[in-house]
Amino acid sequence: MTENDFGLYLIITKPSFSYKKIAETAVKYNVKYLQLREKELSDREILRAAGEIMSVTNGTETRFVLNDRADLAYLSGADCLHLGQDDVSLTDAKMICGKKVSEFGLSTHNLKQVKEAVRLKPDYIGFGPIFETPTKKKPDPVTGTEIIAEAVKLAGEIPVVAIGGINEVNLTSVLDAGAKNVCMVRYFMDSVHFETRVEKTVQILKKYHM
48: contact with ligand TZP by CB under 6 A: no
Instruction: Give the range of 22-30, 57-65, 112-120, 125-133 binding ligand TZP by CB under 6 A.
Output: 125-133
Nearer to ligand TZP by C-beta: 67 or 76? 67
Inter-residue contact 3 to 159 (CB < 8 Å) = no
Closest by CA to 104, choosing from 137, 86, 135, 126, is 126
Binding partner of residue 166 among Mg ion, ligand TZP, none, CB under 5 to 8 Å per kind?
ligand TZP
Closest by CA to 49, choosing from 39, 86, 161, is 39
> From the CB of 133, what's the least distance to ligand TZP, in Å?
3
Burial letters for 78-111: b for 16+ Cβ neighbours within 10 Å, e otherwise?
bbbbbbbeebbebeebbeebeeebeebbbbbbee
- Phi, psi (degrees; rounded to nearest 5) at 181: -130, 140
Q: For residue 109, give the H/E element and its range.
A: none
135: contact with ligand TZP by CB under 6 A: yes
Q: Which of 28, 48, 94, 186 binds ligand TZP (CB under 6 A)?
A: 186
Binding partner of residue 185 among ligand TZP, Mg ion, none, CB under 5 to 8 Å per kind?
ligand TZP
Binding partner of residue 136 among Mg ion, ligand TZP, none, CB under 5 to 8 Å per kind?
ligand TZP
Please tell me the total number of residues recorded for the chain in this structure: 210
Q: Which of 133, 170, 173, 191 binds ligand TZP (CB under 6 A)?
A: 133
129: contact with ligand TZP by CB under 6 A: yes
Q: Which of 66, 118, 148, 184 binds ligand TZP (CB under 6 A)?
A: 184
The 3-state secondary structure of 110-155, one letter per residue: CHHHHHHHHHHCCCEEEECCCCCCCCCCCCCCCCCCCCHHHHHHHH
Binding partner of residue 129 among ligand TZP, Mg ion, none, CB under 5 to 8 Å per kind?
ligand TZP
Binding partner of residue 133 among ligand TZP, Mg ion, none, CB under 5 to 8 Å per kind?
ligand TZP
Residues that bind ligand TZP (CB under 6 A): 107, 128-129, 133, 135-136, 163-166, 184-186
